[in-house]
Structure 1
Amino acid sequence: MSRAPGISMRPVVAVGLIAASTLLSMSAWFSATFVVPQLRVEWGLGAAETSALTIAVQLGFVVGALLSAATGLVDAVPGRMLMCIGGLGAAACNAGLLLCDGVGSALPLRILTGIFLAGVYPPALKEVSTWYLRSRGKALGVMIGALTIGSALPHLVGAVGGVDWRVVIATTSLLSAAGGLVVCVVRGEGAHPFPRRPVSLAAGFRSMRNRDVVLANLGYVGHMWELYAMWAGVGVFIAALPSVAQRPDGDSLAALLAFVCIGTGAAGCLLGGVLGDRWGRPRAALTALICSGGTALVLATTYDVLPLTVTVLLCAFWGFWVIADSAQFSAMVTETADPDYVGGALSLQLAFGYVTTMVSLWLVPQLVEHFSWRAALVALAIGPAVGILAMLAADRRRARSRVLAV
């Protein structure tokens, strides 16, 4: 694709740099998955403290996203500046864990890490959207696909084993700092910039007056109910299968298979983007929600009778579709929200989504412990069901608007 007049970079290069910056910066988030098992032993953490350490980043992210939406900061300050500050701030907070000796001092740092990362992800979605219009779904899919690979990497490290948590923290801190600096290489905005407005209290919340945005947010909430709980639980689920649990290398095998199952989502993001650009965002998201929620129900009824190979293939199919719709919800907001407040609207959508993940991440282990994986998998399918209803309504609205336009 050629450069538009006045644009100093090729869109594909700019989006690649923004995606790389986001992935590197968000490594401070992923680091928790690496180190919590070791910290559980070294710091003597109980189940509640372990969960708190894991969820603290998400809590901070929600706080940061809500503050960004309430103040309109993400629509007033250049996105690249926010991403730079967010990446460097997250790196510093993440590195601070090296000085901690227990969960009491670590929790505030993890919360601050999440707050700084709220200055990375929403602006990144907005920045990518300025570089593409007709292929925006695919461009956002590429960025979220990169984050999917980042989310899968802890399982690959778990399969290899032997990496000290201090090395992981130091490395991810350097990567986050690098992410904050990489985005500075991006020169200018794309050919489709959003207006920049002064800081305004509650500016982002005005997006909730738009029914299309509300439906996109409902779909995103349903999607997020399932997504992070699936990512966090698929390795444990595979490890609990009798044919894996009875093997001497069962934990390593489960971690490796979990990496594959989650990693397939990167391809799912790309296909979801292609479908979104061709079919429309609601229909593409609807397809992904049906496939992911349906797979959760199939696994709920068959996981204890199917051969291991078939169960793993179903998990990989689930991992492919569970993230395929994510970029489409963001694209719906960029295309239907008031252009003056797109950044705030994206921040609000992400805040709703990550609040939801905090609930499902707590609920699924409880259901597994007190009932079974069958109950947990059925509960996860509730999210896609809500998303399906929202996307059916959104698709009807889209069809009516096209008829009226004719």
Structure 2
Amino acid sequence: MKVLVSAYACEPHKGSEPGVGWNWVKQIARFHEVWVITRANNKEKIEEELNRNPISNIHFIYYDLPKWMYFWKRGQRGVYFYYCFWQLGIFFLAKKLHKRHQFDIVHHLTFGNNWMPTFMPFLNIPFIWGPIGGAETVPKNFKSEFSFKWRYYETLRNFLQWWALKLDPIIKMALKRSTIIIARTKITQNVIPKKYKSKTVLILESGISMEDFSYKKMEPKKNNNFKILMVGRLIYLKGFSLAIKAFAKLVKEMSNSVFFIIGGGPEMKNLKKLSKRLAIEDKVQFLGQLPRTEVLKHMAEADVFLYPSLKDAGAWVLYEAMLVGLPVVCLDYAGPGEIVTKECGIKVKVETPEQVVNDLASALKRLALDNDLRYKLSQGAKKRAAYFAWDRKGEIIKNIYKNFWGEQNRK
């Protein structure tokens, strides 16, 4: 089939939305001929990768708005407006491309939010939307963990999502005209209006490349410190404050515990203050942003991967930690709650901040004291991570397209 893809974010060797765009495009291209409309500033990295590893049946079309509109991209406030205008601009480009190539499917990949518009449904050809998320919100009881700025931001975002699903005519048209809607979490799947549920499928958006992964968990050493690792951008929704509070409780009972935090972000200063206030600053090491190779080395040396994120749909770093063989302690919520099973980690219920902190500390203590359990979960983590290999996800995408094509032929 001839497939047209809309992928605002699409870049090789990246996580988050750029990685979703790139890897989904690669998997679709294993079975179909693909034309991809993406941002012009992605061109350099994409062309470098294609020169190293050519893919004959992918055609990239690079598009950007006029330079005088670039001011919208400065900071997060204007990205939404820039994105909306970009989507409108590529609609007219897509019409010209469709007239030339006669596509069988148009697939909108990124941004994958259920409250951000796409005009691809108006091409009047079969439309696939997703993987989309956006319904993953911070539980109300946990907003007390954030500053006023972040509480305001989260409230505004929740309002935009509600407005989009209930009132935005562009989003309502996307829901109506979609042949298939791909939800990236059960939370998002559950907010899809009832009349469209029958055409909604659940696929976690991210995956892991197995071929370039050679790091293995190091054998535990006797009388060694119990090393806990957390990796991510230091922002409010990642749950770093919960992790530090839980670690403070653990240290009172297990003084050989150490906590390494990798990542940078706006909450760095506040998190360091929290560590000092809890009198554990000598036990918590903020390593800042590190190259991926260094991150993987730390993973190989750690005992447990702590990841109490309050909102993630998919977590690339979580897959890598699992593939290394790290047992996971996370919340039973959103993406991590669906990725992690009892065979590879311990999931904590999400009720109140106090309960989560206590339960995280208990889970860490349990793993610190039980080497056999850590080994069992380590082996389970490797097996579970392999389940999310990109090539396997490609087969799932292939079947979705196959089923979709069968439905079209029966009409």
TM-score, reference length from structure 1: 0.28
More helix by share: 1
Q: Which has the higher contact order (CA 8 A, sep 6+)?
A: 1
* Structure with more of its chain in strand, by fraction: 2
Higher Cα Rg: structure 1 or 2?
Answer: 2
